[in-house]
Structure formats: structure tokens, C-alpha cells
Amino acid sequence: MKVVNKNVPVVWVLTDDRPGNSTQSLGLADALGWSYTVKSLRFSRLAWLHKVHERLLGATIICVDRETSQSLVPPWPDVVISAGRRAAPVARWIRRQNQEKTKLIQLGRKGSQAVQPGDVSIVPGYCRMWPNEQRIETLAPLNRVTNQQLEEAAQEWVDLYQGAPRPHIVLLVGGSTVRSVLDESVARQLGRDVADFAKKTGGMVHAVTSRRTGTQAAEALTEALGNSGIVQRWKPNQSRNPYWGYLAVADVIIVTGDSESMIGESVSIGKPVLIYPLPEKPMALMARLREMIVVAGRASLYGNDEEHSGSRIGKHISGFLLRQGLVRSLRDLKAFHHTLFEQGYAFPFGHNAEVTSNKPLREAEIVSRKVKVFLGFHNT
């Protein structure tokens, strides 16, 4: 691949209002070690167009709210780092303004559909994307966890547990998604199960909800935990967020299985992590059809046709649909959990967490070295 520039590149990082996207982009930017400028984006009501199909939008900033977003003006960067489907057309627009000289690093499944020559995409393996030599696969989403960050958080929030009995148990709570359910009933059962765990271990639970948890689920969880714990409810625009303090001071981390980013951050700490699975919703007809296309298409693209039933023509058509981004692969979170269990980064809920601590999963440094080689900056 051609060298972009012999000097250290000028880098922009596009962030949005979704922490799961921003933490991936900033985590990689930190690991690369280059100076970078953060361009915070906010999107207008036209953002629904991204759900029609991100590839159809091409290179555009039509969905960007110009008044609340940071300006995108020259001098244009050598490299743009972004995550998520909404930022992808913006990154391509920036490259167009720079006469196609800007290199793009796109993180995540949704924004990596339109990878062009010279781009790099970084996607976890459980997203089941098609083979591409420009793609770097990770085990989990990237994040900003470092030893220094954890030490600083532990010092800042040293009194967070206020003399509570040990082990200090942190419960990270996600919420309902298109595939999983966290309603009042499930939240209540979650609270009961974790309260029982706390009683058996003699510890205290500090539950931390997220933007997806919802008021009713949070109330049901609080009621079910009872005297075994307290609930730190998510609030928008908190000036001081104790999230990292809880993780830094925790002895045991329990995280609901729906949240890729919270799981990825938890297994980066190096403490016992237990994944609590949420019930799955029945797969809708269109989702089942997509799954059939994904399975057949991957069989064709990975060259293992003989291991799967179905016609060769059908597999090749499915492979074409995947490769062109006309059908997006579905995440396999069960496979994600299983890989973490298998490699010793986490345990299923119910495992005796006192047995051992987890080895920390830190992928950003490894990925950053690969990115530099891809873009021709391996000497910087």
C-alpha cells in the first residue's frame, strides 16, 4: 500500500453522542500515539436516512446538524478515524474535499460496508463480516482502558464504596435491543440473581445503569436488589461520571450480555468478569432471511461450500450481497461470549468468581501497529 506521507499525519477523530462509538475511535487514536483533533458531530432529523442504507448516501454531510457540530473546514486531515454508520458518509465527504488524499479508518460493523482501496476497517470477529484484506478483526470492540486511567479513577473515587463489605461487586446494566430483552420482569430477575450472588459472597452490589436501561427496568432492579446493593442511575450530561471509578475499585464485575462496549471495557480491566445473558427475542422473518443469506454467503466467501447445504448459485448470490454491503451480517453475541469464556477473559454468570482474576484484554496497541503498516506510517 502506498505511503500517505513521510511525516506524522494530521488526524481527525469524528465522535457523536453514542459512547460506544466514541470510545472505539478515541481508544484507537490514543494507541496510535499521534496528535489528533476531535470533531464532535451531532445529527439532524435526516439521520434516519442512514437506516435506509448507508451505502446509498455516499459522501455527504446532509445529515449533520451544522449548528451543533464542530466545523469541518480545511486544512483537511491525512487520516480520519470514525465509528458507526452515521459518521461514515461524513468521513468519505472529508476525503472528497481533500481530493481523495485522506485515508479513512472506520470502526464497527455498520460503518464498514463501503470500504474503499486505501481504507482500513476494524471490526470484531463476532460481527461476521466478509473476508477483506483491508479489514482488521478484533475479539472485542476497542476502548480507552489503560493502567494510568484506572489508577487515576481509583484515586478520584477512592471513597465510592464508603466502607461497604467486600467483595465490591459492580453490576453494569445495558438494556433491550432488537435481539435481547431487558424489561421489568427481566430486570427484577437480574436483581434477585445478583442479590443472591452478593449474599453468597458476602459482598455489596453497586449497579450502574445505562442510557438504554429505562426507568421502569431501573426501578424493578432497585426493588429486587433490596438491601444487597444500590443503583447508580444513568443521567445525561453528568459532570462527574463514576463509571470508571466503579470499574477501577471493583473486585468483581457483572455485565449484561447485550452490551458489546461494556463487556469489552470490563474484560480490559483484569478482574473477574461474569456475563449475565439476557433473554433473546424471537427472530423476525426478515432477520431470519438475512441470517440465511449471511450463513450461505460466508460459506461461499470463505470457500467452504461443501460444509453447508444449499445450491452453489444461491451461495454465490448470497456472497455477492454480503460483499457489496447490500445485506449486513448479524452480530453473534453468543459467539462473542463463548470466545471470551474459552480464552479466559470472562466467565458465565454463576461461575465462582473468587477462583481467579481475568487476564486483561488490551487490543488497541496491537491494532494500532497493524493500522500504521496498512497506511504506511509504521516508522512513526
Domain architecture of the chain: domains with CATH:
11-142+364-375 (3.40.50), 147-280+333-348 (3.40.50.2000), 285-323 (no CATH)
The sign one gets for the Cα dihedral 310, 313, 314, 320 is positive
Tell me what pLDDT residue 299 has.
67
Q: Would you say 138 and 363 are in contact if contact means Cβ atoms under 8 Å apart?
A: yes
pLDDT of 119 higher than 80: yes
Tell me what pLDDT residue 4 has.
45
| Burial class (CB within 10 angstroms; exposed 0-12, middle 13-18, buried 19+) of 323 | middle
pLDDT of 116 higher than 80: no
pLDDT mean over 349-357: 66
Residue of 79, 100, 89 whose CA lies nearest to 34:
79
For the ranges 93-97, 144-148, 359-363, 375-379, which has the lowest average pLDDT?
Answer: 375-379
The sign one gets for the Cα dihedral 211, 217, 223, 229 is negative
pLDDT of 295 higher than 80: no
Tell me what pLDDT residue 1 has.
42
| Burial class (CB within 10 angstroms; exposed 0-12, middle 13-18, buried 19+) of 154 | middle
* pLDDT band of 114, cuts 50, 70, 90: low
* pLDDT band of 8, cuts 50, 70, 90: confident
pLDDT mean over 287-307: 65
Tell me what pLDDT residue 2 has.
41
Q: Would you say 298 and 130 are in contact if contact means Cβ atoms under 8 Å apart?
A: yes
* pLDDT band of 200, cuts 50, 70, 90: very high
Structure confidence by residue, pLDDT tens digits, 170-199: 999 999 998 899 999 999 999 999 999 999
pLDDT of 250 higher than 70: yes
Tell me what pLDDT residue 3 has.
42
pLDDT mean over 355-368: 84
pLDDT of 144 higher than 70: yes
Residue of 251, 194, 259, 255 whose CA lies nearest to 220:
194
DSSP character string of 107-171? ESSTT-TT--TT-EEEEEGGG-PPP-TTEEEESS------HHHHHHHHHHTTTTTTTPPSSEEEE
pLDDT mean over 102-124: 83
pLDDT of 266 higher than 60: yes
Q: Which residue has the higher pLDDT, 374 or 12?
A: 12
pLDDT of 309 higher than 60: no
Residues 6+ apart with CB under 8 A from 136: 120, 121, 122, 123, 367, 370, 371, 374
Residue of 208, 34, 4, 252 whose CA lies nearest to 104:
4
* Residue 275: strand, helix, or coil: strand
Please give the torsion angle defined by the CA atoms of residues 119, 122, 127 and 130, in that order, rounded to the nearest 10 degrees: 40
Structure confidence by residue, pLDDT tens digits, 42-74: 998 887 766 555 556 678 898 899 999 999 999
Tell me what pLDDT residue 239 has.
67
* pLDDT band of 161, cuts 50, 70, 90: confident
d(CA 43, CA 64): 4
pLDDT of 287 higher than 60: yes
For the ranges 14-23, 36-45, 51-60, 330-339, which has the lowest average pLDDT?
Answer: 51-60
Average pLDDT over all residues of the chain: 86
pLDDT mean over 22-26: 94
Structure confidence by residue, pLDDT tens digits, 206-222: 999 998 999 999 999 99
